[in-house]
């Protein structure tokens, strides 16, 4: 499949956006987290959040180089990081511990929508790589595994 590489500035700004996830992961490990995040999330959720956020480095590289399939593969992990933060913010806003977090909740929700839109557009552009994976190599591997068990 021969896909044209998007213009430089589109790749540049997408890469900067993806790098922000890495920045958030680093900041969460060395800086102080917002009180709302510390209240609403436990250590496991924070670790998962930082790991998912660190995938932004791969997403940034893929976006800058025009590597659609790698960017496609990384976006669900970045979306997981966004979802964890949205749930933490929602818990804080609903309990009235920090009503000011409502603004951040709207921004994070819009970011999650952007990520979902980007994933869907890449899915269409790449002719459904997840479907190709499930219909191709994995189907053959699962078939061989089942025959070996019989």
Which pTM value belongs to this model?
A: 0.69
Residue 2 lies in a domain: no
The per-residue pLDDT for range 33-43, each reduced to its tens digit, is 666 566 656 77
- Structural domain total, the chain: 1
CB burial of 70-93 (b: ≥16 within 10 Å; e: otherwise) equals ebbbbbebbbbbbbbbbebbbbbb
Residue 97 lies in a domain: yes
Residue 1 lies in a domain: no
The per-residue pLDDT for range 84-134, each reduced to its tens digit, is 888 888 888 888 877 777 787 888 888 888 888 888 888 888 877 777 666
Per the structure, the complete domain to which residue 120 belongs is given by 8-149
């Amino acid at each position: 499949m021969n896909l044209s590489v998007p213009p430089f500035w589109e790749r540049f700004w997408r890469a900067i956006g993806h790098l922000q996830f890495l920045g958030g992961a680093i900041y969460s490990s060395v800086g102080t987290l917002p009180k709302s995040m510390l209240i609403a999330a436990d250590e496991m959720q924070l670790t998962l959040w930082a790991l998912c956020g660190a995938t932004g480095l791969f997403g940034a590289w893929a976006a800058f180089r025009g590597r659609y399939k790698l960017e496609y593969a990384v976006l669900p992990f970045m979306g997981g990081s966004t979802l964890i933060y949205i749930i933490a913010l929602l818990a804080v806003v609903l309990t009235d511990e920090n009503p000011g977090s409502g603004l951040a909740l709207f921004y994070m929700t819009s970011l999650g929508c952007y990520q979902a839109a980007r994933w869907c557009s890449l899915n269409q552009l790449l002719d459904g790589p997840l479907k190709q994976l499930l219909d191709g190599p994995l189907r053959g591997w699962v078939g061989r595994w089942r025959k070996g068990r019989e």
